[in-house]
Amino acid sequence: MAVPKGKVSKARRDKRRSSVWKLEAPGLVACPKCGALHLPHRMCQECGTYNGRTVKAVKSVVAK
């Protein structure tokens, strides 16, 4: 049976594990009211609605 010859330090262990994970893009969903993309289970930043009701009054941006 294989037995480690010495203790693996936390730094060496963490360096080995650092390349395993990968940063993923967040999953975005379309707002049913305005169609803008937003994070799931969060208020839409464009129209201010969440779960079919208005949560926040959003001022419309006027392009100059």
| Residue 1 pLDDT exceeds 90 | no
Between 54 and 9, the higher pLDDT residue: 9
pLDDT in tens, 28-55: 999 999 999 999 999 999 899 999 888 8
pLDDT number for residue 42:
93
pLDDT number for residue 50:
93
pLDDT bracket for residue 61 (50, 70, 90)? low
Q: Kindly report the backbone phi and psi dihedral angles of residue 53, in degrees, each rounded to the nearest multiple of 5, phi listed first.
A: -130, 155
pLDDT number for residue 8:
95
The full DSSP string for 19-35 is TT----PPP-EE-TTT-
